[in-house]
Structure 1
Amino acid sequence: MKKISLLGSTGSIGKSTLEVVAQHPQDFSIVAMAAGTNVELLAEQVKQFQPQLVSVGNEQAAFALRDLLGETSAVEITYGDKGLALAASHPEANFVMTAVVGSVGVAPTLAAIEAGKTIGLANKETLVSAGQIVMEAARDRGVAIIPVDSEHSAIYQCLQGARLGDVARIILTASGGSFRNKTRDELEHVTVQQALHHPNWSMGAKITIDSATMMNKGFEVIEAHWLFDLPYEQIDCILHYESIIHSMVEYKDRAVIAQLGTPDMKVPIQYALSYPKRMPLATEPLDLVKCSTLHFAPMDLKRYPLLQLAYECGRRGGTYPAVLNAANEVAVARFLAGEIPFLEIERIVQRVCESHHGNSHPSLEEIFEADEWARRQAKLSVR
């Protein structure tokens, strides 16, 4: 049985992971869980899946969870960064699903690697912020990192049985997000509610906004660089409106292998959990006749300047990707809180990155310091 520690259980990926686990109770079990402060939902999850350990965001949430579960519950409750690390390195777990949002995923992912756990990586910011350190740690410990993002899972599947040296390029597909049909001028006054309405996927608020700015695709480019050990010149992006082709690999002989499926995150989640096997999944099958026509368009980097910025920060390396991610996290939070207009997200991230003096070979501590610096700058940034 695959014994799973699930980090980020109350988020979109976390909830989908639990749906997969519930479909296969003989194959998967949850031994540890971590979440933020949504203790009402977490309490329901704990009662259903009966983990041994649960971590929450802070001490207040820990007390609230204990009240909801009752004193007779045997589950161990912890909190904070220490709690995340305990969940990630739980001795009973042999698989850790990292589905927390943001650079907070770096430390528990490293803790899981140190403990020798197989990683299902759904937290792209981990490799964006500290890709070199994380991948080196995984190689040193002989730990497998299996991508869960639909695009990287697609590439991972398309590479099975192939030699990386035979790859000409990988092609990441992008839906275009909530505002793909709007001009730059029309974006000046869009609302939070409009931004959260993704045409194809049901995702959390942060990733939905990142999809609208195309920052999410920029993060995926950097993540792909580390996951597949490819230079940025071999990583391309195209618009694909239906989200049926999740990504493609073009080989040197010009053969292209694509992974197709309905836009359902349970598919890449279960693939990561069951790899190298495939298991039945109760989800809608792909009907190509019903799809009828698939549409593609070139990626316009002037329309999506944050994608261009992600390529630039990725090539610069060092602390630049961490600064890019941290500034974006703060800018998106400010937009969701109603503090800034939509296009100000781009302006803040660009200003912070332009003012950064990077460290080309940072330690983990220096990456965290750059992250904190970028957050302070992004909080203070005004037009």
Structure 2
Amino acid sequence: MAQSGMAGSAPPKRNLSWNDPTVRAVVYQVLALGLVALGIWYLVSNTLHNLETRKIASGFDFLSREAGFAIGESPIYFGPENTYARAILVGILNTLRVAVVGIILATLLGTVMGIARLSKNWLVAKVASVYVEVVRNVPLLLQLFFWYALITELAPGPRQALNPITGVFISNRGIKVPAPTDHFAFDLAGIGFLLAIVVCIFVARWARKRQEATGQAFPLIRANIALLVGLPIIGWLIGGAPMELDVPKLAGFNFSGGATLTPEYAALLLGLIIYTGGFIAEVVRSGIQAVYYGQWEAASALGLKRSLVLRLVVLPQALRVIIPPMTSQYLNITKNSSLAIAIGYPDIVSIANTTLNQTGQAIEGILIIMGVYLSVSLSISMFMNWYNKHIALVER
């Protein structure tokens, strides 16, 4: 009876003592949080006091005011009469133009070079190794200066522009090419291209499940090419199949009409692709080498070619090693695009700097830049984490 009574009694209360490590840990954490909160309060109050002393108005009301400056390169219309908010939007779009295209092309270049480093062909492997070692050990800013100088100094002026194809002009002002006119048919073609991308994703999933169930391979590459080419053509035909294009023409000391690939955009994109491609190549190489060599031998024993072994057996397993460091490279190429200001490309940093110089809203301008890069980086991380979880092995 005494034992059962003791068993049913409540556990003894814990006395608070400084000798208890749990108590000390809680006290230290509370003190640390208090110091952080005190530091934040001091910085905020000191900043507000200084702004008030210097009669500088805080807030984002300036975004609705007229900008009064022009932007040399904009994917949407922008004039001096537009607001600072629209100028910031142009900077965001220009940054995304570089980041998205750069991520896609750097991935392709890095993957090819990473595989080439493992090639059994001595020359191919050495060329890939030299490329990786050179671009990874030369600062990106110097590479941007090099490509910008190469494009602007070697190319002729507009009046002596190269004209390799009718309607295409290459000069130190950029590459001018014919562009679609403002016609509904070209809008339908663009919608058809986006629809083709979505259909390609579903076709790839269906082909994978079909092969797992039947063992029969589906000609996925040819089907995707047919979709990416066919659906835009169908949209263009439905819209009336207009044949007229906006062809660039020499007018004075420059060209008018058509679409332009500016030297600033080309140099920035080329530098980011080549520089980041070297790091991605090493990520791909290490990911492939992380796959047990017995996988190569087993697949080869089944009679598969080396290219098929790499594409169907090794790379799917290597992706689980490649994706985490690849995410870091995608974030790097996005953040490194801020070096665009060095060669005059109007990205978010350049336009925000012009804005804060005119308005004096330095804190708000810096906050806008930080918010843009934080949002883009978090979006990339969320997508890559989702994809990494999607391809992870599911244990039973």
TM-score bracket relative to the smaller structure? under 0.3
Question: Between Structure 1 and Structure 2, which shows a larger proportion of helix residues?
Answer: 2
Question: Between Structure 1 and Structure 2, which shows a larger proportion of strand residues?
Answer: 1
In the superposition, the TM-score normalised over structure 1's length comes to 0.21
Structure with max Cα Rg: 2
Determine which structure has greater relative contact order: mean sequence separation of CA pairs < 8 Å that are 6+ residues apart, divided by chain length. Answer: 2
